[in-house]
Amino acid sequence: MALNFFDQFMSPTYMGIPLMTLALTLPWMLYPTPSDRWSHNRLITLQGWFINRFTQQLLLPLNPGGHKWALILTSLMIFLLSMNLLGLLPYTFTPTTQLSLNMGLAVPFWLATVIIGMRNQPTAALGHLLPEGTPILLIPVLIIIETISLFIRPLALGVRLTANLTAGHLLIQLIATAVFVLLPLMTTVALLTSMVLFLLTLLEIAVAMIQAYVFVLLLSLYLQENV
């Protein structure tokens, strides 16, 4: 039984062909394509309003030099939000529960911010490794600590997203299994447990949205340090 709980995190295959690519590309088809007409339907209007509001909030802490990242960061936010929310549907696969995918997203973006900082302002980028006014005896120790913390950033991004989504999916499956087991034995307890399951599902919807936002927000903060 314990092993079956983790079967939902296995990459789906069909006739030996991995379906990870299909799981990553199909959600983009759910979004309506904006047209050049003056009058749009409500779904396109809501989609445009959400993207505009998120982009404005994302660009608030960034310098004008970082505004060129608005398109890619907004696309990343929509991608993660779609993956996280669609993964809460029954009989679906959540690609963002895979650490390999999350690290594949976190490392290139983090590395791009570091390279931009080293190219545009190398003195300021290297200055983050040593705070001003540090005693001479602590300089080697602080440089090592700051360097380690710099390289841990992409790992923290990927592990945070993976751990939060994985824990939520496991809790939902555990409580749902308890409801089915208790239903023929103790109906009242099963109903109370189902209420807990409903509240947990609402919580996981919020977690799915918050984690996607936090992932992109931290990337924007890393970018702000190097722009």
59's tokens: 């660009």
Average pLDDT, the chain: 83
Give domain limits for the chain.
12-32+40-226
Distance CA 6, CA 86 (A): 18
Comparing CA positions, the residue from 81, 101, 82, 79 lying closest to residue 9 is 101
| 95 secondary structure, DSSP code | G
Residue-wise pLDDT tens digits, 60-100 = 877 777 788 888 998 899 889 988 998 888 878 888 888 88
pTM of this prediction?
A: 0.83
Q: What is the pLDDT of residue 1?
A: 45
- Which one is predicted more confidently, 166 or 48? 166
Would you call 17 helix, strand, or coil by DSSP? strand
Region class of 178: left (phi > 0), else alpha (psi between -120 and 50), else beta: alpha
* CA 63 to each of CA 59, 132, 209, 221, 225: distance values in angstroms, whole numbers, following the listed order: 8, 23, 25, 11, 10
- What is the pLDDT confidence band of residue 2, given thresholds at 50, 70 and 90? very low
Q: What is the pLDDT of residue 39?
A: 59
Q: What is the pLDDT of residue 142?
A: 84
98 backbone dihedrals φ, ψ, rounded to 5°? -90, 120
Decide if 125 contacts 117 (C-beta within 8 A): yes
Q: What is the pLDDT of residue 190?
A: 86
pLDDT mean over 10-14: 71
pLDDT mean over 1-25: 68
Distance CA 60, CA 58 (A): 6
Residue-wise pLDDT tens digits, 23-51 = 777 777 777 776 666 556 777 778 888 88
Q: Which residues touch 209 (CB under 8 Å, ≥6 apart)? A: 81, 84, 85
179's tokens: 């409801």
Distance CA 211, CA 170 (A): 17
Torsion of CA 18, 22, 25, 27, to 10 degrees: -120
pLDDT mean over 131-151: 83
Q: What is the pLDDT of residue 155?
A: 93
* CA 142 to each of CA 79, 110, 118, 126, 148: distance values in angstroms, whole numbers, following the listed order: 37, 21, 20, 13, 10
Lowest mean pLDDT among 14-18, 46-50, 134-138: 14-18
Decide if 162 contacts 96 (C-beta within 8 A): yes
Q: What is the pLDDT of residue 40?
A: 65
- What is the pLDDT confidence band of residue 6, given thresholds at 50, 70 and 90? low
Residue 16 reports pLDDT greater than 80: no
Q: What is the pLDDT of residue 205?
A: 93
Longest CA pairwise span in the chain (Å): 71
